[in-house]
Amino acid sequence: MSNAPPTMGTIYPRGVIDLHSHTIHSDGEVGPAELARRAYKKGYVVLGLSDHVDQSNLKSVLSAAIEAAGSLSGVIGLTLLAGVELTHVPPSQIADQVALARDLGADYVVVHGESLVEPVAPGTNFEAIKAKCDILAHPGLVTDEEVALAAKNGVYLELTSRGGHDWGNGHVAAMAQKHGAKLLINSDVHAPDELLTPVAQKLVGLGAGLSHERFNGLMDEALSLAKKLAAKGGRLDKT
């Protein structure tokens, strides 16, 4: 018998798919192997490593993520993907850094969006979407113009479980629905106790205003994306 609240409906059967996490290679608390093991025990099937980077550390941090994903993915029971999160990069330099990360072998590129609780430079959301990053994290009060462009460019907008950043979730979900943009539900985990469970991931979606059907559709899309990224990076895909 499920322990989920009665309003939860059916839990997504494949497990947690989360493409936003941090390790000791930026401001996270544990290394990639430990985070992946703890994620597996929480019910993850896919974990994306996306430590904070800027121009000073992109190469070294991405190299560590690629090494971890290459050596651990599939071996520890889940698929690991190697990404980065471009963080507080000046808007005028975002496109070059997105391109560099891809040239260096990133499976995917996240850009730290204009969260309501951090002084991210105005224009970051637009330039990240224009540069066709893969995921715009916690984009806050993202505009009609930005979301329409995200839909056109195939950029995923993030709904997050991270406190403070999650203040914009309802707005982001509504704007994505309005313009047909893609969504992902991520943890932005920095400490192991912030890892999601399948129930918690669904609650984030429902709390942002998604229907049960829309949530399950998003998770199907997330699984397809993860498989595509895993194939591109040569990861052993156990999803």
pLDDT tens per residue, range 138-164 = 999 999 999 999 999 999 999 999 999
For the chain, domains (ranges, CATH) are 15-233 (3.20.20.140)
Q: Give the residue among 186, 209, 187, 64 at the shortest CA–CA distance from 83.
A: 64
CA 208, 223, 25, 125 torsion: positive or negative?
A: negative
* Mean of the per-residue pLDDT values of the chain: 94
Query: Judging by DSSP bridges, how do beta strands 79-86 and 182-186 pair with one another?
Result: unpaired
Instruction: Give me the pLDDT at residue 10, please.
Output: 73
Instruction: Give me the pLDDT at residue 8, please.
Output: 59
Strand order in the sheet with 135-137: 16-18, 44-53, 79-86, 108-112, 135-137, 156-160, 182-186
Q: What is the DSSP letter of 45?
A: E
pLDDT tens per residue, range 191-227 = 999 999 999 999 999 999 999 999 999 999 999 999 9
